[in-house]
Amino acid sequence: MKTRILLILISIIASYSTTYGQTIDTSKVIKLYELVITDYQKLGGVERMPDVNENIIYAGKKTEVIQLDKINADLSTNNTRQVFGKIPGMSVWENDGSGIQVGIATRGLSPNRSWEFNVRQNGYDICSEVFGYPESYYSPPMEALSKIEVIRGAASLQYGPQFGGLLNYQIKKGNPNKPISFETQQTVGSYGLFNTYNAIGGTYKKFSYYGFLHHRNADGWRENSEYKIYTGYFSANYQLTKKMNIAAEYTKMDYKSQQPGGLTDTQFKENHRQSFRERNWFSTPWNVASFTLKYDISPAISFNIKSFTTVAERNSVGYTKAITVVDSINPNTLEYNSRQVDRDAYKNYGAESRISFRYKLFSKDHVFAGGIRVYRGNTKRNQQGVGTTGDDFDLTLTTPEYGRKLKFETTNYAAFAENIFYLGSRLKVIPGIRMEYIENSIEGYINTTSAGSISTETRSRQFLLFGMGSEFMVTKKTNVYGNFSQAYRPVTFSELTPSATTEVIDPNLKDASGFNFDFGYRGSVKDYLNFDVGIFFLQYENRIGTISQNNNPFKTNIGTSISKGVESYIEFDPIKMLVENSKVGSLSLFASLSFIDAKYTKWNNPAIENDPTKSIKDKRVENAPTSIHRFGITYFLNNFSATFQLSQVGSVYTDAANTELPNTSGTTGKLVGYQVMDASLSYHFIERYNIKAGVNNIADEKYATRRAWWLSRPRYYAWKWKNSIYKYRRLILTTSINHI
């Protein structure tokens, strides 16, 4: 991409005579010339992290950075299959048609609320409880983001859990060139969709700021699936000195979502839009705040500390029996049955301090980066409360006590370090280590009888994680990379909690452990080719599950799984390859391909280990597609662009036993693969205005990304579809004004 920079410098040396007036010495006027700088812009809005950023080392790791302003995607509903379309192997659970919760995973892991990723916003924690309950109930509106950073499993050394790696949402910053600027986006769509995003930001001397207000509501594609969501954010940044900067941020989100309930396979075939739950509601008020100090001690040494806190809730009320049980009116009282109320309260806080410095060794420059982390998480869980018989969102109890009341606490200390050794002009070697201390405690009761009481129990452990990465520069813009990093996942709160008084928890329950390995070749060729082709291997030991022992359920480490396969991404512009400055525009073609072989390789139940009808050894890992392929084409001409995307997802089993046929309640059974087509258009005009339109699911495909699953804590999400034009499809129309 050729960028013309006109350097305008007028230097007039004038001499003023206090007596005779002003004169200009024209012999000293400097003549100016146009300077042309040539650089190449990467295709399609997918880039990679630099070697070091914010005192964190990314060299030798598989990284992807999605630039939101460079992709054509439906941002108004957080359409994850479009936003993450160019990230190979990204599995998506579409829990709702609103994009309130982003559920993604890679390498055969579970996409449930992205809990296998360490999910952050601007580098700090935003999930429920990062060790005990790592579910991501809060997801920022995509319109507010400048980019999304994805680092695979190798992120475990710098960020800790989980096996999936890091997912970091970077929110936009204030306009650096104006004291005040305004941005607004308004979206309407089918099924009553209305989305409004309004932001203000700017920079005045040493102070910069950015804030937004966001609202989205819709009736929903299925019956009984209306929702309303509100999100607000504000950040302030002050440059104390040339070397020191402080920043503070606050985010508030709240929503109310009606849960339509699951469907059995028979009900799905009859009418895939129907719902048998009209009294079920869900809400998660969320508050996140952070404070950051950055200090560049010297040109070679940089330091920062980031403190953060989350104060949030998870609230649900509804009729939670299996979908095969009708929510009917009681003939004796002429009222509906009482609903169940479940409420969580989260109070988490922590801090991370990081430092990096460059030094010389054997006449070579090297980089060290390390830090420490302290964290405290508190969760109060109240479940099985007897609620009202109404149909609105009402968390009122009709009895004084909840049927289950628990308190969890987590304490975590960690220290971590990595180093880039530059060996020669092409080779980088990056060893790393992480030392971890985790302490969990639980107390309360799982029912109001004496048998249901749980005495206070505390578990603590310390361990080390190691890793090694490497890069070799093949050309100036391409490299071969490889990484091996150990990973872990602590025992979660749900795994510490008996689902019934008869269930027994293994006193020697171990944290899950294992490692990630990846190897690939990536880079770009001028401005017409961008690629990353690689292989991966993930070993997940001590997976936790429930088996039968002495006719009672026994929760223990059931075995080991291994995921291996291919992750590849390539984007190509044939017009730019042939013509440097084309008058007919440019054409971008991309393919994001992944093949995933995720199976159980070890089964830890000796009683049935030799019974092939019961063992899960050699069975496919549940919810792991065999393949995830996405293809797309984008045409650019002046201020106009159009994108078409095709997503193909392979079949999945929904339980470890690989049950083929669905059961009557729709909780198990194989889900067939599916493909979905989307289209987006965008046109920019009068410098700051643009209009966008899109159709999601052009072919009106009926598909499911997950089944209903009923545990001790019910979930309400099962068969979900994204549909979009006419009666069944969703049409999106967005208008926006940027940076007035």
Give the helix ranges, DSSP H, for 49-183: 80-83, 156-159
Find, among 317, 372, 311, 367, the residue nearest to 343 by Cα.
317
**What's residue 452's pLDDT?**
74
32 vs 355: which has the higher pLDDT:
355
Query: Does residue 650 carry a pLDDT above 80?
Result: yes
Q: In the chain, which segments carry CATH 2.170.130.10?
A: 43-169
Distances (CA, A) of 251 to 121, 122, 389, 676: 10, 11, 34, 33
Specify the CATH number of the domain 43-169: 2.170.130.10
Cβ neighbours of residue 452 closer than 8 Å, sequence gap 6 or more? 404, 445, 446, 501
Residue 31: is its pLDDT beyond 70? no
Portions of the chain given CATH number 2.40.170.20? 170-737
- What does the H/E/C string look like for 274-290? CCCCCCCEEECCEEEEE
CATH classification (class only), 170-737: mainly beta
For the cut 90, the answer to whether the pLDDT of residue 547 exceeds it is no
Average pLDDT of the residues of the chain: 86
Q: How far apart (Å, rounded) are the C-alpha atoms in residues 573 and 586?
A: 7
Residue 446: predicted pLDDT: 86
Lowest mean pLDDT among 415-424, 575-584, 667-676: 575-584
Question: What is the arithmetic mean of pLDDT over 98-109?
Answer: 90
Q: What is the pLDDT of residue 548?
A: 66
What is the average per-residue pLDDT within 462-472?
96
Task: Find the mean pLDDT for residues 318-343.
Answer: 88
- Report pLDDT digits (tens) over 197-235: 999 999 999 999 999 999 999 998 889 999 999 999 999
Q: Which of 145-159, 263-277, 611-625, 689-703 has the lowest mean pLDDT?
A: 611-625
The tokens of 505 are what?
Answer: 């928890």
Which of 217, 246, 247, 243 lies closest to 230 in space, CA to CA? 217
Q: What is the rounded average pLDDT of the residues 398-410?
A: 93
State the pLDDT at residue 33. 37
Instruction: Tell me the C-alpha distance between 740 and 35, whole Å.
Output: 29
Q: Is the peptide bond before 645 cis (omega within 30 degrees of 0)?
A: no
The answer on pLDDT for 500 being more than 80 is no
Q: Give the H or E element holding residue 267.
A: helix 265-270
Q: Predicted confidence band at 80 (pLDDT cuts at 50, 70, 90)?
A: very high
pLDDT over threshold 90, residue 328? no
Between residues 732 and 505, which one has the greater pLDDT? 505
The answer, as to whether pTM is greater than 0.85, is: yes
Instruction: Report the range of poorest mean pLDDT among 361-375, 486-500, 632-646, 667-681.
Output: 486-500
In tens, the pLDDT along 595-625 reads 999 999 987 765 555 555 667 888 999 899 9
